[in-house]
Structure 1
Amino acid sequence: MIEIDGSHGEGGGALLRISTALSALTMNPIHITNIRANRPRSGLMPQHLNAVKAVAGLSNARVEGLEIESKELFFYPENVKGGTYNIDVKTAGSVTLVLQAFMIPVVFADAPVNIKIRGGTDVRWSPPVNYLQQVTLPVLRSMGYNAELDIIRRGHYPRGGGIINVKINPVKKLNPINIGDLEVDKIRGISHAVKLPEHVAVRQAESAEKVLKANGFDAEIEVEHSDNTLGPGSGIVLWTEGNTRVGGSSIGERGVRAEKVGEIAAEELLYNISRGAAVDKYIGDQIIPYMAIAGKSRVKTAELTLHAVTNIFVTEKIMGKKFDVDGKVGEIAIISAD
């Protein structure tokens, strides 16, 4: 059994999600202690519990310690099975964080996987669903990953109730990835508003376009408006298209003007473009397990994060692969996997 110290590195929910996902992938049982020890409220919270439940259901795993505020977990996986899965994250818990964990072990499932997840699609402290759809998945597709994501209904804080459908077709292997410098052909985006006036989405888009144009970039931003949701909310996701994709995003908040929301997303994208690196810091985190699965991979990230360092620690420990990092946390870095 592999022992994992849950307080290592960033010591948060990401370590838990990656650990259980890689355990399911490799069928190596793990024992995690000090779960989320570095957080103000330690132990398992509902969103983390749901992610572990999802991976456990996928891999027919026996789990001990799967309860709210648990600080210790035993995870005993079996074979990953294809099929149809339904997951309800409850309220506005992030569907994208659950999906991030679920996506890793299904890469080599024995049959196609269809998953419906209910919860928050566009909530703070997690990737908006359009980021996962338009940035994460295209980068993974360049490695041979085969998945399609459909947004059925958006869910915002505090009501949640969003629904996404994801179909994943297993592959025999993943292709190594080797991307260094960023090349930008165009910028696109989606600005949405649900159960709010359409002009909210329009103003977000126009504000982002103005900021980008002032910095020499034209953008095609689609405006999406709907009342098909449980509660109001808005947001905008921008991304580059070229040899790879980097993104920028912002979620609307009460008291924050739509123009500011668009401006924040544009500035984040411009920052990532200015770094000249092929992946932004979020993909730099997410791609670590896939680099280990594929082997012989190398990426240049706009910013090395503590999350990425933590993911490397867990991936090396469970998969036995070796990473090399040229750069420091907070700086541009090159990450290589054997």
Structure 2
Amino acid sequence: MSTSKSPSESLVVLDGSRGEGGGQILRTALSLSLLTGRPFRIVKIRANRDKPGLRPQHLKAVEAAALLGRADLLGAEVGSRDLVFRPGRVEPRDLAIDIGTAGSTGLVLQTLHLPLAMRAETACRVVLTGGTFNPKAPAYLFLEQTWRGHLANLGMPVALAMPSAGFYPRGGGRLEAWIEPARPRAWVRTTRGDLLRIRGVAGSANLREDVARRMRERALARLADEGWNVDVEIEAASWPSPGQGAAIALTAEHAGSAPATFVGLGERGKPAERVADEAVDELLDFLGVPDGAVDPHSADQILLPLALADGRSVYTVSRVTEHLRTNAATIGAFLDREIEVEESVAPDQPGRVVVA
């Protein structure tokens, strides 16, 4: 079944300030433009952000997508608020991309993943240099545990490695991905199985040893106080990195579901205990909606592959976000798929997403 609209149609025009208003609209548009052959123009890029327009990590995603799809570009420069992208033929191959800053390697990887997986005939290796732990972006530990888990459910295997961690402002982290040729399959999951265990990693780079220990101890104490008596195991880690940083990731494993990972990210002057609290708070919010099969961060990320899959998909989400609504609207500009996003009716009730 073909879900794309005709490539001969006029330019897709997107308002980059709409909805969530960040780089997500651009990244989804780049992926879909490569896959459908439809050119697009995006205006008012990140207009509502403190630093509007293309930032270095967004520009690297644009340049990498253009390289992959032999695209013509107009307005591809840092600070630009207006970009035109006209794709050619996608030529899957190994890629090495240096963002040049501490910008998110994970977001660039997610931009390239589907075009590589769905057009390649053999596995492709992508090596990205930049940030692996970034605010408002998927941290490496989320990608490794949760994103990969969802992709496996959709029939799209990916292997990941992080030889070096990258934190703001130094960057220099290294994310390696091996992407197998695959097409996404439809998926239905409207309940969540029993909680099997909670596991985590509290890690730091070039900081005192007690930082990771304090994050770990705080998370364990909080979970015990909340009465979560399942198997809980949090390890301490020391990551190689050219810079300094700290993070904790807590992963809930439910029967029959992809793991759900929540990350607290350190920054200068933030106590280790507060970093742990951020991850614990998000985890407890998720656990408080027992029928939410998908965590709020994954809900918008799996929507794109499901919109490209044959057949009907349905899933519940613990919380409907602006990212989810915005991604649904962006996908609708390129694909002839009906996407319904139903809001939660109560704080402990899940939202629902249907890809018809």
Q: TM-score range by the shorter chain?
A: over 0.9
Q: After the TM superposition, which of the residue ranges 144-153 and 77-86 deviates more from structure 2?
A: 77-86
Hey, what does 2:289 align to over in structure 1? Answer: 275
State the 1:15 CA deviation. Answer: 0.6
Partners of 2:198 and 2:232 within 8 A in 1: yes
Partners of 2:344 and 2:352 within 8 A in 1: no
Hey, what does 2:7 align to over in structure 1? Answer: none
Of 116, 121, 127 in structure 1, the residue corresponding to residue 132 of structure 2 is 121
- Name the amino acid aligned to 1:120: G
1:109-141 deviations in Å (ceiling 9; x for gaps):
223211000001112221211011111110111
Distance 2:158 2:146 in 1: 13
| Alignment map for 1:29-44 (pairs within 5 Å) | 29-44=39-54
1:209-261 deviations in Å (ceiling 9; x for gaps):
121122224311121114x2111111011111222222211011222222222
Hey, what does 1:225 align to over in structure 2? Answer: 238
| Alignment map for 1:1-338 (pairs within 5 Å) | 1-111=11-121, 112-171=123-182, 173-183=183-193, 184-215=195-226, 216-217=228-229, 218-226=231-239, 228-242=240-254, 243-244=256-257, 245-276=259-290, 277-294=292-309, 295-327=311-343, 332-338=350-356
Partners of 1:191 and 1:235 within 8 A in 2: yes
Q: After the TM superposition, which of the residue ranges 326-335 and 255-264 deviates more from structure 2?
A: 326-335
Aligned residues: 336
Q: After the TM superposition, which of the residue ranges 69-78 and 275-284 deviates more from structure 2?
A: 69-78
Distance 1:40 1:123 in 2: 16
**What RMSD over aligned residues (CA atoms) do the two structures have, in Å?**
1.7
Partners of 1:304 and 1:330 within 8 A in 2: no
Partners of 1:155 and 1:163 within 8 A in 2: yes
1:270-291 deviations in Å (ceiling 9; x for gaps):
1111112111111012111011
- Name the amino acid aligned to 1:233: G
State the 1:328 CA deviation. Answer: 5.8
Partners of 1:304 and 1:329 within 8 A in 2: no
Distance 2:50 2:215 in 1: 33
Shift in CA distance, 159/186, structure 1 to aligned 2, threshold 3 Å: same
- Name the amino acid aligned to 1:225: S
Distance 2:251 2:346 in 1: 21
1:159-213 deviations in Å (ceiling 9; x for gaps):
0100011000111x32211112222211111111110122211221121112112
Distance 1:204 1:330 in 2: 32
Partners of 1:10 and 1:38 within 8 A in 2: no
Partners of 1:246 and 1:278 within 8 A in 2: no
State the 1:297 CA deviation. Answer: 0.7
State the 1:330 CA deviation. Answer: 10
Distance 1:121 1:270 in 2: 24
TM-score (norm 1): 0.95
User: Mind listing any 5+ residue stretches in structure 1 that lack a counterpart?
Assistant: none
Partners of 2:190 and 2:316 within 8 A in 1: yes
Partners of 2:93 and 2:120 within 8 A in 1: no
TM-score (norm 2): 0.90
In structure 1, the residue corresponding to 2:308 is in which secondary structure? Answer: helix
